[in-house]
Structure 1
């Protein structure tokens, strides 16, 4: 390494340009008088005494009187410890910069990959705290417990909260009905490890692999289209086929759906039985995106595949394509679609069955 390079590094480590030059010069000279050091480098004669005393205070050199002020480089252990400490700080700073770069703030229409699960959990809590209509939660029972306060507050605001839980200890480690009441609308148990997934208001997702995964990373989504993919993953892998362990629904409470697929599944059965079903739909007009509410009688439901027979429930595969219902309001006939509706007049955010009458 050239003298100029070593001098520059010492400057980066905190020495002044004069201090760096004087110290490198002393390393080469061994013992030398102050004037000899000044003659051998670019430090001005009037400054050399102060420079050497400052270096002595830092532990880089020692001075003594021998006819004139004389200096020599100190045992390098102190210097080496200082440089190594600074090197470690530089490495820590480099890692912190890389980590922060890998964890950008989530903005609208953004998908971000993050390194720490804590980032995913904190984002999920923020999303749940801002939820207005619906939350889908899947994860380990301990992860659920760490978010109970936020989920309960959302449920208190009238948000529909669905949770899918798993545990290393099996059903014996699950919260009882008293612990779930007031926290969620419905809960199901999955006897396989699942990733951590929180989907809020059809627009945002926080995702991380299950706790047994060898890789720790997370995906933060603020986009309706990508969130729709996670929504279907939740429905098919984490919800549809698993046992219900709690539901807030009773025979006396109106049935409200935030997913049109489950509404159409139940409505198809009721219509097959000859029932007259009145519903209230809250959502958005497709042409204007303005909020709207319609009330009327369901006259038809649309879905892919063949109708069911013998009171069988529609399989989820029949609900993977276009799903809609037709509502006669008395003054108009309206086609209602679900999340991502294109062909219908209204995109439903919630569908409530108000009355069921049989002739």
Structure 2
């Protein structure tokens, strides 16, 4: 680097123009008198003593007395540490500017396209930690580890967490014990898959796999758009794959979709052995959160063909309850016809 750019860089690192000029001059001179430094630089002679002493205070030079005040550059280790620390701060500031530019606050109804996966992952961490009742996640083992603190926080708040872990093949060993205590259910997809995080049926994060030609992410704070990602998660990343962990096979048994509940009810003698169901969700008339508990009196499914297959992928699926003598119908995500949209359905006995 030439002298002038070096001086300008030192100025950018926090030195005054006179300090930077005097220091670079002294690097070339080695040991010199104060007047020699003034003569060889652009620092005015009346200012040279103050400039050199300010450099000494910063650890850049050391002065000593002989016939006159002499000065030499100090061991540069402190200077190098200072410059590298400043460079690191500038680099971090640059990264923070980029991150903040890519992470505008998502107002209700918003969706944003971002270019870096770490932006998606950072937003997923906050969505998961702030969830109130449900998290659905498709991720790799490595990213699951990064999300672990947020998952633990959500689980500690009583949030249901279900994870589809995807690997490159079926030979990858999965240490489910590390996450089992904080996950309601874990499934394994032995194929690469996109990263998907859904929180409370309202917030969604999506990113293509690293090997994909398309490399971008989507951040959503909107029920309608999140509903689309939910169906992708359900049909491609969840339903077909092997369950490798479930929190508890006994009561209470928790469901995140009314379709899963109905499928299991069909395999039981629920008419002769009444099922007690607790439902957390939203009143479809008012949109207000609600919590009810009652006995299952009927289940309604749309098509006979789907009844035979055991899982309903389309149409209205409803569970009717007797809640203290009153009939209440419960539907799934996006329910309009039913009385309640169930977000968490728990068989309590």
Alpha-carbon contact 1:163-1:184 (below 8 Å) kept: yes
Aligned to 1:115: 115
Q: Once superposed, which parts of structure 1, at least 4 consecutive aligned residues long, lie more than 6 Å away?
A: 94-100
2-structure distance, mates of 1:297, 1:287:
22
Listed one character per residue, the Cα deviations across residues 164-205 of structure 1 (whole Å, up to 9, x for unaligned) are: 1122364433223x2122121111111110011100000000
Among residues 320, 325, 328, which one is paired with 2:319 in the alignment?
A: 325
Distance 1:156 1:298, change over 3 A: same
Is the CA contact 1:156–1:182 (under 8 Å) kept in the aligned structure 2? no
Aligned to 2:84: none
The 3-state SS of whatever aligns with 1:150 is helix
SS in 2 for 1:147: helix
Corresponding pairs, count: 260
Q: Superposition RMSD on alpha carbons, in Å? A: 2.7
Alpha-carbon contact 2:271-2:297 (below 8 Å) kept? no
**Match for residue 347 of structure 1?**
341
Q: Does 1:314 align with 2:310?
A: yes
Q: Is the 8 A contact 1:99 1:115 kept in 2?
A: no
Match of 1:239 in 2: 238
**Partner residue of 2:281?**
283
Task: Give matches, 1:141-290, under 5 Å.
Answer: 141-168=141-168, 170-176=170-176, 178-251=177-250, 253-271=251-269, 274-290=272-288
Answer whether contact 2:99 2:119 (CA < 8 A) is retained.
no
How far 1:326 moved relative to its partner? 0.6
Distance 1:150 1:161 in 2: 11
Find the residue that maps to 2:304 and give its secondary structure.
coil
Q: 2:57 matched to which residue of 1?
A: none
The residue matched to 2:112 in structure 1 has which SS? strand
Q: Give, in whole Å, the separation in 1 of the partners of 2:333 and 2:282.
A: 11
Could you tell me whether the CA contact under 8 Å between 1:103 and 1:115 is conserved in 2?
no
Q: Contact 2:187–2:245 (CA<8 Å) still a contact in 1?
A: yes
SS in 2 for 1:270: coil
1:52-81 Cα shifts (integer Å, max 9, x gaps): xxxx96xxxxxxxxxxxxxxxxxxxxxxxx
SS in 2 for 1:237: helix
Q: Distance in 2 between matches of 1:112 and 1:299?
A: 43
Distance (whole Å) between structure 1 residues aligned to residue 305 and residue 297 of structure 2: 15
Structure 1 330/205 Cα, relative in aligned 2: closer, same or farther at 3 Å? same
Contact 1:125/1:147 (<8 A) preserved: yes
Q: CA deviation at 1:292?
A: 2.5
Question: Do the aligned partners of residues 169 and 235 (structure 1) sit closer, same or farther apart at CA in structure 2, a change above 3 Å counting?
Answer: closer
Q: Rate the CA distance shift 1:214–1:338 in 2: closer, same or farther, 3 A.
A: same
TM-score (norm 1): 0.66
- Tell me which residue corresponds to 2:131: 131
1:265, CA displacement in angstroms?
Answer: 1.3
The alpha-carbon distance between structure 1 residues 95 and 162, as it changes in their structure 2 partners (threshold 3 A), is: closer
**Pair member with larger Rg:** 1
Equivalent pair of 1:180/1:246 in contact (CA under 8 Å)? no
327 and 272 in structure 1: CA distance in 2 versus 1, 3 angstrom threshold: closer
Q: Distance in 1 between matches of 2:97 and 2:179?
A: 41
| Worse-matched range after superposition: 276-285 or 155-164 | 276-285
Please say if residues 256 and 353 of structure 1, whose CA atoms lie closer than 8 Å, have aligned partners that are also in contact.
yes
Alpha-carbon spacing, 1:95–1:127, altered in 2? closer, same or farther (3 Å)? closer
Partner of 1:261, secondary structure, is: helix
